[in-house]
Amino acid sequence: MQFFGSKRKKLILAGDQRVASYPHSLQFYLQPPSENISLIEFETLAIDRLKLLKIVENLGVSYVKGSEQYQSKLEIEIRRLKFSYRESSDDEFEARRRDHISHFILRLAYCQSEDLRRWLIQQEMDLFRFRFSILPPDTVQGFLKDSHLQFETISKEEKALHSQDILDSSMPLGGNKYELEAVYKVPFADALDLFRGRKVYLERGFAFVPHQDIVSIILNDFRAKLSKALALTARSLPSVQSDERLQPLLNHLSHSYVGQDYNTQGNMGKISLDQLDSLAMKSFPLCMRQLHKALREHHHLRHGGRMQYGLFLKGIGLTLEQALQFWKLEFIKGKVDTDKFDKGYAYNIRHSYGKEGKRTDYTPFSCMKIILTNPPSQGDYHGCPFRHSDPELLKQRLQSSKVSQTGINQILDYVKGTHYQLACQKFFDLTHNIEDGMFSLNHPNQYFLESQKLLSGGREVRKEPSQPEVPQAKQSVQKTSNSTSSPPASLDSTLEMDMEGLEGYFSE
Amino acid sequence: MEAFDPNELPELLKLYYRRLFPFSQYYRWLNYGGVVKNYFQHREFSFTLKDDIYIRYQSFNNQSEMEKEIQKLNPHKIDIGAVYSHRPIQHNTVKLGAFQAQEKELVFDIDMTDYDDVRRCCSSADICSKCWTLMTMAIHIIDRALKEDFGFKHRLWVYSGRRGVHCWVCDETVRKLSSAVRSGIVEYLSLVKGGEEMRKKVHLSTKVHPFIRKSINIVEKYFEEYALVGQDIFENKETWDKILTLVPESIHAELQQGFQKCHNSVQRWEHLKRTVSTNRAVKNEKFGPWVEWEIMLHYCFPRLDINVSKGINHLLKSPFSVHPKTGRISVPINLQKVDQFDPFIVPTISQICHELDMVSTNEDDGDKENEAEPDTKRHTRDYKKTSLAPYVKSFEQFLEELDKSRKGELLRKSDAQRDF
Ligand SMILES: [Zn+2]
């Protein structure tokens, strides 16, 4: 199948050419591949890379990124899946080629929504960071040069002048002496990940970056380019989606690894509003209980809370009419009058159900989204209680939910290790009196469904996700499986032939 | 002084937009020298009309079209949005998805209601001269960082008309920043973190970043008068217990004892500082000057609303718009006189309309030659007869600086071409 370039190229290259096409074990993926591959290889490469990225994600949760264990485990997995990892390996051509092509296939599958893009970018960045970290020091400059990344170093005098400020701002300089460390001066926006956490010294619009932190600048560039590329790919998506050979495969790829989006399932309208208080006590995760309680107490929630809670409620089956009624009844008990509600808040609720504006049908927030984006500030009750609460207050909440002292300690240990989802899962296990997680928690609505399943005596209440009522951008919805690891079913063998005519998905 | 009566707003607005609103300076600002084609024409304005009717995606071809439309609609509130890929007024005729917000000033919104847990004089929408110091500190801290750390030259600070301030950063490069970088800037500038489930909202480490150090230097100038005397944050057990949640537990008993013996907040603060430093000397590194800095920052450091700054398409109330509840004009704040800025002497729409009436009556008594002047020409001078004048003047100074940068940039570009 020729899916990227316009001209067929011979696969067999002479040794020199092979080196020249992939000079390094890591890539910026600036050029799409231009060769033809079979649909079978397309599928295999895609699945292998997904496996790799899933491993990257899991290792990042279980270990501290960059720690010895993380590094060695990741290296083993990369080797096992036959992707490139070592600069010095004698013939890595095939591994680098696999790396190159599989990356571009996943772009197709993961450009479709914001959540998918976020996930892909995150894992690809972690993978890149790992590969960069094991790059031998003497090849770093070569790699930077080949990737068109050159930075200006500051003079000895300037370095001496700012020594205190730079040392106060940057992470400890390992064993390196400040005098020996090169310091680069880059426009502040290129150092986003450093300056946003105040991990670099800023002066008059420039970031003063010690050599040890340069990976951050490179990753920033990597992310910017990937993010832009995904946006462009998304624009040409309609033509991909109309390709009946690819559409089911791509959809399956994206679903099997990020999981369901928990939007408008078959349970629409099966919950009545007066059930909410008791459901909240039994089957809501802590974040949603907190929002529910705050809403009942203050008759108001700020925007972040309305989004997080409103979409969760939509996901568990509140219809638009119910949602309007629910929020209105609560808000008018507070400072908002009927008129103001109808003119302002009602619009936003209809909007989140895809009935206003761009008519995007918003999906409930995943744990990752809640943990990583839009942290709560003054007056807010949203966010993840395990991530955004004082340990003291969290302890009180857990006590009032009748969690045992041992259980609380276990949960707080997870929190200390920044494993917020595991902490929440532990909370689920303890409050449902089950031994060990039978599922891997990554979504508040998943928490709700699993809880309901258990409480109704293990009977299967969950519906197979059905076709959304209003067809969205995804024109055909592949039946999704809930398992998170099974590879997609193999495709019809008649499609094993070479395919052409799919080029141009990556052009500007 | 003329008291503001919201019932008179519709009549007052007519006069305000016809004779007082500084349209030409306003246009000069948003047109940015006409350097980029259609920059003004693609800018979104939105209006709040009578009865909270809200209309978005307004846009204008030129100053006179904007003037006419505003004078026709007499909006109770004007908001400014982004510069889009197409004329906002035609957003419905553009292919779905093609209509995109492309540029906007970087804006900040600091609102007094976000400080409710740390001010004792007022709550929610109310402000007084005591808590206004929070805004004074906020402007000094944020403005210093925008200028010295980020190198932004053109910062317009504006009183919101009621309980807070806005900042518009207008440098050419800043208007092009992505939403990710905008959030990054807000994160850099935020120290007070966490929602209602977080008591201790400021956490410093032993290494103190220059931004924090410089911010503390600013807070130190105000802390005693504002927090200890004005807010009296250690007044009684209930209030100091709140502060104790920010301090390591091992010294709570010692502090409680000492606080009982002191007579006022200033003494209790001294006691706290002494206790921390003696404990540091004998015990461990858990105690350091950052314990007191965390308290100072918790009570004084600016609280920014990230959502306002992050989105390129987010709308923010325009300078010189009127606050419909207080009637006060949203006026620029002179950065040279931040400490003297008093929200309670900012003119209301009633006041300036009344001032204008007074002058007009006097002029009518004198000669009639004004009548012969065209409306627009008279218009440009009318605000000068009212207490709006000094605020328009500082707006003009801001515009001068923008012009200067633009000329410098043009010069640099043409030099570069010549070199080529
Ligand atoms: Zn006050």
| B197 occurs within a structural domain | no
Q: Which of B79, B103, B111, B382 is catalytic?
A: B111
Are residue B42 and residue B166 in the same domain, yes or no?
A: yes
Question: Which pair of tokens denotes residue A463?
Answer: 């519906």
Are residue B147 and residue B103 in the same domain, yes or no?
A: yes
pLDDT at A485: 34
In total, how many domains does chain A have?
3
Are residue B123 and residue B183 in the same domain, yes or no?
A: yes
In total, how many domains does chain B have?
2
| A118 occurs within a structural domain | yes
- The residue behind tokens 């209006």 is B47
* Choice between B81 and A182, residue whose per-residue pLDDT is larger: B81
Q: E strand or H helix at A332, and its extent?
A: none
Q: Do B211 and A379 touch (CB under 8 A)?
A: no
Q: Do A380 and B196 touch (CB under 8 A)?
A: yes
Question: What backbone phi and psi angles, to 5 degrees, belong to B79?
Answer: -115, 150
Residue of B nearest to A305 (CA): B195
Chain A within 8 Å of B54 (Cβ-Cβ)? yes
What single DSSP character describes residue B106?
E
Cα of A63 from ligand 1 centre, angstroms:
48
* A-proximal residues of B, 112-131, CB under 8 Å: 113-117
A111 is in an annotated binding site: no
Complex ipTM, two decimals?
0.92
Within 8 A of A238 by CB-CB distance, chain B residues are: none
Are residue B58 and residue B115 in the same domain, yes or no?
A: yes
Chain B within 8 Å of A390 (Cβ-Cβ)? yes
pLDDT at A490: 30
How many angstroms separate the CA of residue A393 from the nearest CA in chain B?
7
| A508 occurs within a structural domain | no
Residue of B nearest to A203 (CA): B149
The pTM score is: 0.80
Say yes or no to pLDDT of B206 above 50. yes
Are residue A207 and residue A295 in the same domain, yes or no?
A: no
Comparing CA positions, the residue from A419, A387, A424, A413 lying closest to residue A59 is A419
Q: What is the dihedral of CA B258, B264, B270, B273, to 10 degrees?
A: 60
Are residue B20 and residue B142 in the same domain, yes or no?
A: yes
Are residue A57 and residue A203 in the same domain, yes or no?
A: no
Q: Which domain holds residue B103?
A: 6-187+304-361+381-417
Question: What backbone phi and psi angles, to 5 degrees, belong to A167?
Answer: -65, -35
Within 8 A of A392 by CB-CB distance, chain B residues are: 199
Are residue A206 and residue A307 in the same domain, yes or no?
A: no
Q: E strand or H helix at A35, and its extent?
A: none
Within 8 A of B207 by CB-CB distance, chain A residues are: 168
Are residue B243 and residue B341 in the same domain, yes or no?
A: no
Cα of B122 from ligand 1 centre, angstroms:
4
Residues within 5 Å of ion ligand 1, judged at the Cβ atom: B 121-122, 128, 130-131
pLDDT along chain A (508 residues), means of 10: 43 55 84 84 89 88 84 91 74 86 91 85 94 86 83 90 93 77 93 95 96 91 92 80 75 66 72 92 95 94 94 92 94 88 87 76 85 87 93 89 91 88 91 80 91 75 36 31 33 32 42
Q: Do B184 and A196 touch (CB under 8 A)?
A: yes
- B268-312 pLDDT per residue, tens: 999 999 999 888 877 666 777 889 999 999 999 999 988 899 999
Rounded CA Rg of chain A: 25
* Choice between B202 and B419, residue whose per-residue pLDDT is larger: B202
- CATH number, domain at B395? 3.90.920.10
Question: What backbone phi and psi angles, to 5 degrees, belong to B48?
Answer: -105, 120
Are residue A335 and residue A410 in the same domain, yes or no?
A: yes
B111 is known as an active-site residue: yes
How many angstroms separate the CA of residue B199 from the nearest CA in chain A?
7
**What does the H/E/C string look like for B137-195?**
HHHHHHHHHHHHHCCCCCEEEEECCCCEEEEEECCHHHHCCCHHHHHHHHHHCCCCCCC
Q: What is the mean pLDDT of residues B152-171?
A: 97
Cα of B134 from ligand 1 centre, angstroms:
10
B44 is known as an active-site residue: yes
Residue of B nearest to A359 (CA): B96
Within 8 A of B185 by CB-CB distance, chain A residues are: 196
B109 is known as an active-site residue: yes
Are residue A231 and residue A126 in the same domain, yes or no?
A: yes
Comparing CA positions, the residue from B129, B126, B133, B119 lying closest to residue B233 is B119
How many angstroms separate the CA of residue A463 from the nearest CA in chain B?
33
Q: Which domain holds residue A199?
A: 145-214
- B97-128 pLDDT per residue, tens: 789 999 999 999 999 999 999 999 998 889 99
Are residue A110 and residue A149 in the same domain, yes or no?
A: no
Chain B within 8 Å of A337 (Cβ-Cβ)? no
Q: Do A169 and B184 touch (CB under 8 A)?
A: no
CB B324 within 8 A of CB B76: yes
CB pairs under 8 A between A and B: 110
pLDDT at A27: 87
Are residue A114 and residue A152 in the same domain, yes or no?
A: no
How many angstroms separate the CA of residue A195 from the nearest CA in chain B?
6
Cα of B292 from ligand 1 centre, angstroms:
23
